[in-house]
Amino acid sequence: MAVVNPTQRWAGKRVSKTSWTPLANGDTGLPQTGARLADKTVQILGTFGAGGSVNIEGSNDGGTTWAILNDSRGEGNALTFTSADMREVLEVPEMIRPNVTAGDGTTALTVILIETTSA
């Protein structure tokens, strides 16, 4: 159970790319400030292992309390991944992180967060 540091770079004008890798079963990503750029897309790839699952979580109280975020289809469409996929994030929390909640010894995931703004 490690806290994985991300790599972050500006991928273009008003486009930030943050990657956490590798994430194993029980790992979380070091939280990143999520409110600076409102439009967010998250992609998960890698080896999920047996029963592998990762949540994308947000916090508005400095990281004391975390909630699973939703995709752009609305409330009730939790950003919980059990296979490789890409989804748009509905909320704009103060902080955002990945949290690997299940898997086995082969679980090795990469989470990529693209944040942008049109203004």
Is 10 inside a domain boundary? no
- Asked if the structure places residue 115 within a domain, the reply is no
- In this structure, is residue 119 part of a structural domain? no
Domain count of the chain? 1
In angstroms, the CA 108 to CA 39 distance is: 27
Q: How confident is the model at residue 33 (pLDDT cuts 50, 70, 90)?
A: confident
Is residue 119 over pLDDT 70? no
Whether 5 maps to a domain, the answer reads no
Please determine, for residue 75, whether its predicted confidence score (pLDDT) is greater than 90: no
Q: Domain containing 48: what range? A: 17-110
Tell me how far apart the alpha carbons of residues 67 and 15 are, in angstroms, rounded to a whole number: 25
Let me know if residue 40 belongs to a domain: yes
Mean pLDDT of 7-21: 92
Q: Is the pLDDT of residue 34 over 80?
A: no
CA distance 90 to 42: 11
